[in-house]
Amino acid sequence: MRVLVTGGAGYIGSHTVKLLGEQGYEVLTYDNLSTGHDWAVLYGDLVVGDLADKELLRKVFSEFKPDAVVHFAAYIVVPESVREPLKYYRNNVVNTINLLEVVEEFGVDKFIFSSSAAVYGIPDEVPVSEEAPLRPINPYGETKATVERILRDIKNSGKGMRFVSLRYFNVAGADPEGKIGFAYPNPTHLIIRAVKTAKGEYDRLEIYGTDYPTPDGTCIRDYIHVVDLSQAHIDALRYLQEGGESDVFNCGYGHGYSVKEVVEAVKRVTGVDFEVVEAPRREGDPPALVADNKKIKRVLRWEPKFDDLDFIIKTAWEWELKFSAQNQRL
């Protein structure tokens, strides 16, 4: 199967490209390198291009003739989406429509969409199932929910394209072989901020809110290793290849850790006792967000291999040390 991966030079995309290559897929990455890196694309060719460029997209589809598309390319920083909503709607929605128009034009019938648990907003029940209402509370989440609705409408049009939308919970960790990992500037996610603080990039780590209705007062999140998440995309491709119907799936382990538990785990794994300070709550942070993952295990036969917080942190830490060393040599 020939698979076109948009955003395949980014964090999750590059790990998925690596797995696709290792498992025998013919893969092509399409990425504008706004946040991705050419060195992260370990299999197949890289076309540097933007999803706004429909003529280039048509050329790529005409020459590569993909059987399926895995669509990662999106802006993902929630606070930025609040400050710059038009930037997010133009890239995450309008450019996705450009891609989908070319997908339809060339008759590609399998589409995997990189969605997010942000579509749920603050859920009524935890763990949250795929049946929960979509109530995003920021523009980033709105863009993901909007694309999901567009995909549903395309499916209902009867034109033959089937899709799988994967709703990610908190993605962390790095390639256990140390070949690729997180390489964005100014990260906002807890584990990567914590390991960078342990490494000395930041003077201290801020905990946003300690008065939530949770056992220790800090937010609880479901952390999934990036390689397990990447495998979910390949399982989704196989599912569509076998004739599966369009559907949505949560991607998480089904249990969570509090912010304080994660911080203690990072200190334990790294051996660094860095400074931690309490800060006010961030607007819109739900007290707990944990996936109900029974559906993805049953339907996609997804079997995670790295459901271990210390292992997730260990791979993130080892990558940080290696990535810093590489940058120093450069």
**Among positive and negative, which fits the CA dihedral 139, 180, 274, 222?**
positive
H or E, element range at 20: helix 11-22
Q: Is the backbone of residue 194 left (phi > 0), alpha (psi -120 to 50) or beta? A: alpha
Q: Where are the beta strands (DSSP E) in the chain?
A: 2-6, 26-31, 45-48, 68-71, 110-116, 162-168, 170-172, 204-208, 220-221, 223-225, 247-251, 257-258, 275-279, 288-289
Of 227, 282, 193, the closest CA to residue 19 belongs to 227
Q: Which helix (H) or strand (E) holds 318?
A: helix 309-329
Identify the three-state secondary structure at position 147: helix
140 is a catalytic site residue: yes
Return the number of other C-beta atoms located less than 10 Å from residue 201's C-beta: 12
Q: What are phi and psi of 239, to 5 degrees?
A: -60, -45
C-alpha to C-alpha distances, 106 to 47, 51, 61, 68, 69, nearest whole angstrom: 18, 16, 7, 11, 12
The runs of H, that is alpha helices, within 75-127 are 78-83, 85-88, 95-105
Q: Which residue has the tokens 């256990």?
A: 176
Of the listed 120, 140, 168, 257, which one is catalytic? 140
Give the residue numbers marked as catalytic: 140
